[in-house]
């Protein structure tokens, strides 16, 4: 093979590999799954979403604040944490929030799992949340926002509705509520899906600053089903 041909083939292979990696890691790319990341025609409404809970030490403060402010949100829950703290899950639903599937363990190797293991992670979480709430959730957010053909196949088999985000708060990186709120508000746009975490220290303080900023800018926070006009649970809005 000529040297020039080798270079072209190598560069093509590297480009293809890079594209696959980018498609897996970029939640907004919808490369393997069509993800709901931004609602068109939603007006000045945005969805508040929380990942990785419930956390017994921090989630209650977030729920207290949402109740005081009259705001409903969407919580993507880790199955084993929901099983450990079912009272928090039931409280979420009782107070008008929506709960969704965020895998059973949120393990670091989740994106590398087999179809069988990935499907079991999602199925166990769905069954746990159904048992706790009496509602079978349809919404799913992949751990780390990573997708691949295996995850996509498991999601489709279970009939789940994948949800991404358009604004990543980075609240797991910076613990300064003012700074994180300012980052979100700089990126604010109609129909945004905002990614937050209710397990982080100061998550209630961040939420308080964010809600003030949304109100000042004329934005209305809501849930994923309301923003996209989709079903939150099987046979139930």
Question: pLDDT of the chain along its 237 residues, tens only?
Answer: 556 554 554 434 433 334 344 344 556 666 799 999 999 999 999 999 999 999 999 999 999 999 999 999 999 999 999 999 999 999 999 999 999 999 999 887 677 889 999 999 999 999 999 999 999 999 999 998 999 999 999 999 999 999 999 999 999 999 899 999 999 999 999 999 999 999 999 999 999 999 999 999 999 999 999 999 999 999 764
Q: State the pLDDT at residue 41.
A: 94
| Active site amino acids | 51, 197
Rounded to an integer, what distance in angstroms lies between the CA atom of residue 25 and that of residue 133? 32
Domain coordinates in residue numbering, the chain:
1-31, 34-228
Rounded to an integer, what distance in angstroms lies between the CA atom of residue 89 and that of residue 78? 11
Say whether 223 sits in a helix, a strand or coil: coil
Rounded to an integer, what distance in angstroms lies between the CA atom of residue 132 and that of residue 183? 35
Dihedrals phi, psi of 195, to nearest 5 degrees: -95, 120
Residue in this structure with the two tokens 């109100």, named with its chain if needed: 215
Bridge-based pairing of strands 167-168 and 74-77 is unpaired
Q: State the pLDDT at residue 28.
A: 61
The structure's pTM equals: 0.88
Q: State the pLDDT at residue 16.
A: 38
Q: State the pLDDT at residue 175.
A: 84
Nearest to 222 by CA among 78, 101, 45: 45
Domain 34-228 sits in CATH at: 3.20.20.370
Rounded to an integer, what distance in angstroms lies between the CA atom of residue 28 and that of residue 78? 22
The beta strands (E) that lie in 144-192 are given as 161-162, 167-168
Rounded to an integer, what distance in angstroms lies between the CA atom of residue 166 and that of residue 155? 21
Residue 147 Cα distances to 27, 119, 153, angstroms: 7, 13, 10
């Amino acid at each position: 093979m000529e040297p020039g041909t080798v270079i072209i083939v190598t560069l093509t292979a590297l480009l293809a590999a890079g594209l696959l990696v980018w498609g897996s890691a970029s939640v907004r790319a919808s490369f393997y799954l069509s993800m709901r990341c931004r609602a068109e025609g939603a007006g000045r409404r945005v969805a508040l979403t929380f990942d990785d809970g419930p956390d017994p030490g921090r989630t209650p403060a977030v729920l207290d604040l949402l109740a005081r402010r009259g705001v409903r949100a969407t919580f993507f829950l880790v199955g084993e944490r929901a099983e450990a703290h079912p009272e928090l899950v039931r409280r979420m639903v009782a107070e008008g929030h929506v709960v969704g599937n965020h895998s059973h363990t949120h393990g670091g190797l989740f994106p590398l799992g087999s179809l069988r293991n990935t499907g079991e992670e999602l199925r166990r979480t769905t069954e746990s949340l159904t048992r706790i709430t009496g509602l079978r959730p349809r919404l799913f957010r992949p751990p780390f926002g990573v997708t691949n053909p295996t995850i996509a196949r498991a999601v489709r088999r279970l009939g789940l509705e994948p949800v991404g985000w358009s604004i990543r708060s980075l609240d797991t990186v910076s613990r300064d509520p003012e700074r994180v709120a300012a980052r979100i508000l700089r990126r604010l746009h109609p129909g945004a899906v905002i990614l937050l975490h209710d397990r982080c220290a100061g998550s209630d303080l961040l939420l308080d600053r964010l809600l003030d900023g949304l109100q000042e800018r004329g934005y209305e926070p809501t849930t994923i089903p309301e923003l996209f006009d989709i079903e939150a649970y099987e046979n139930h809005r």
